[in-house]
Structure 1
Amino acid sequence: MNRLVVQLSAAFAAIILLITIILAVAIDRLADTSFRRYLAQSQIAESGLIDRLAIWYAQHGSWDGVEQVLSTGGMGMGHGQGGPQRPALALANTDGRVVADPRGIVGDTLTALQRREALPITVDQRVAGYLVVQAATNRLPGAASQFLQRLREVIWLGGGIVALVGIMIGILIARRLTRPLQHLAQVAAALGQSNLTARAIVEGPIEVRRVAEAFNEMACELAAANHQRRQMVADIAHELRTPLTVIQGNLRAILDDVYPLTREEIGQIYEATLGLRRLVDDLRELSLADTGQLTLHRQPLDLNQLLGREAELFRELAAAQGVDLLVTPDPSLPAVLADSERIAQVVRNLLSNALRYTPAGGNITIASAAERDGALVSVRDTGSGIAPEDLPHVFERFYRADRGRARAHGGSGLGLAIAERIIALHGGQIGVESKLDKGTRFWFWLPAAEVAASREQM
């Protein structure tokens, strides 16, 4: 009984049986009452009583003294033992007021239902009164009793067939409802066994389909996360291999007296350890940003001042490479609520990438602009650009369009991924636009201080 299909089938069966029994009982009683009333009214019509009542009203102009007609009946139906009882009669005028009721079967006035079921008495094509016929409740005569019994059998047989068909349909519906859930459970078990390609069948009612669709989206995200995890482990191993190889090779050469133990050799080994340290720091920072644990010290920040300060740090290096570094601030730029050191880290990352790929004679432009209740900062270069197939992946960790050249310049492939997380933690957006051989534009947007403060209060 713990299975959902069994519980649903049992619930459908119970409801269908209950409704069928209630309807069968109601129809049985209605058929009995209606059939008895039909027989009684037929007997009254055949007896000529209605015609005699019409004649009485035509002769007297009223219903005064009509009780004797009702009491005698004149229907030829006796009261002998075992014979059928005479139906009870009551007469009402056109207003529904009862004028004769020998057996007291109705009240002083007919109800709307009693008036609809009564036999009208017409005189000169006008209704002069209503004859209420109450059928006897004793056993019906043989033929009538057999007919009523057959009718009851048909009612209960039909009810049984309807109940059986309803239960079968209920079981089919229960199976149709639970089949997607059973398949979903099987797929969940497959995912638990590391089969990340398993997907649920989207079928059934819309609510079940939505669950299956959400489950499939979750499975796709799990597969993507698993692939990303494996790729990240492979990338980390690849990034660690180069400096470790340098350190190991140089130390081995010194131990074998191939290289002399000089300050230059020790300096090379030290530089390799610094590269390792930068990689480890970047990984830790990215991990903190991914989990939302990166500490931010937010305060109102003038981005124009920050951009000018960071540009001065790169100006000498840009001049040495033969690259012009320009800054075009927007005087109307609103203040932002941000961690100045983290935003400076983002700007430094974008500037270093621009310098890395901008040849001599090119230029880099740092611009700011007030946009969408916030501040927009862009770093545009005239470098080699990024291929269209690489653009969607530039913010992925360890991704490089040119791995060899990036490694030669000391890049770990984590800077843009960290920058994206930092901007996202500030409630902003970051993006890139590029064309091959025409340059690249990286940009990020931060909400104004007032907007960011109102969001935090909500």
Structure 2
Amino acid sequence: MRARLALLAAAVSVLTLVAFLVPLALLVRTVAEDRATVRATADAQSLVPVVGTADAATIRLTVEQLAADSGRPVSVFLPDGTVLGTPVPRTPAVALAARGQSLTAESAGGREVVIAVQGLPDGTGVIRTVVPGAELTAGVGRAWLVLALLGMLLVVIGLVVADRLARSLVRPISELSAVSHRLANAELDARVTPAGPVELREVAGALNHLAGRIQELLAQEREQVADLSHRLRTPLTALRLEAESLGDPQDAARITAAVDGLERAVTGLIRQARRQRPTAAPTGCDAAAVVADRVAFWSVLAEDTGRTVHCALAAGPLPVAVAADDLAAAVDALLGNVFAHTPDGAPFTVRLAPVAGRSAGSYGQVLLTVADEGPGMPPDTVRRGASTAGSTGLGLDIARRAAEAGGGRLELRTGPTGGAEVLLWLTPRATPTAA
């Protein structure tokens, strides 16, 4: 934008200067020609009294002296055909002046000035002088050079002024852009210093107001989520007490472990809600260990509901670029969907294996597959909040965001038996080196 404004100022300056300097240059040349012609005419007219009253010898001496002083050729044509001064042939202009008409005409050597002298005894005499081209244009080149330098100076000044003006416009715009990018990167304390024209200052004030309002809304949302999560601690405490009072130690341990997992999730939710700035990327985890742990947890519930679990989990370690809590939440969401949206007794399969050579984009990734033999689900269910079974519609979105946070992705498709098949592609922490 700064370069374009400078270019626009240069174009306007050049056009303006051309519109003024070209006519001025032509005027300078015209004035120089007229000035030289007036001097030559005055010199020639000074001979009129001499030609009308003096004898031939006096006229010759006066003409020669005038030619020497002016540096121009001067000739006097007497009525009897005598030519005094510079010997030249009679020109059409001289012939016309012999009839009593003084004039100025252009010739090959310059500008010809002829003056008729009437009242002589034998007729009309003619005084002729020629203004050479060098005298007609004397000083014109220097004047044009001065005008050209003046024009260039004005263009440079215009460019400097335009650059300063463009800088005063571009700098606030660049600051607005930088602050908007900082806000997009969750730096909500970024603010713009209003500067520049009134319109830009208004935009800066509006952006600062928007940033402040967003900060207030996010703070309110964090507090509301934190308060809601904190309220869950009371029923969790009650569940823990109920679990401890169970007579079967295995059931008590199982329910207590579930309550502990739920409490950890609530604690993580509170911490995340109160987080002011994005933290560093997760360090990752062993996908084999996390998936095996969560499948073992859900296998107990599968046994209670008469479901058959087919597991094909690769031996670890399988390091992936997803935090352990996030991956556990994703696995819980996928397996929770199986129990929530398929009838009791419907079997499901969990597979975890490294993938090599599937395609250039997925080489070396780890694939987690959860497939069931239920009624299936439409592909658009992966949208956040989308659900066709009366749920919150957040389970698949949790899994998707967990995978994408580590550079992976989520796919949803229909399995061979018509049930749902969810593929969670996980990117390893260290990219393998090709052999």
TM-score range, shorter chain: 0.3 to 0.5
Normalising by structure 1, report the TM-score. Answer: 0.42
Normalising by structure 2, report the TM-score. Answer: 0.44
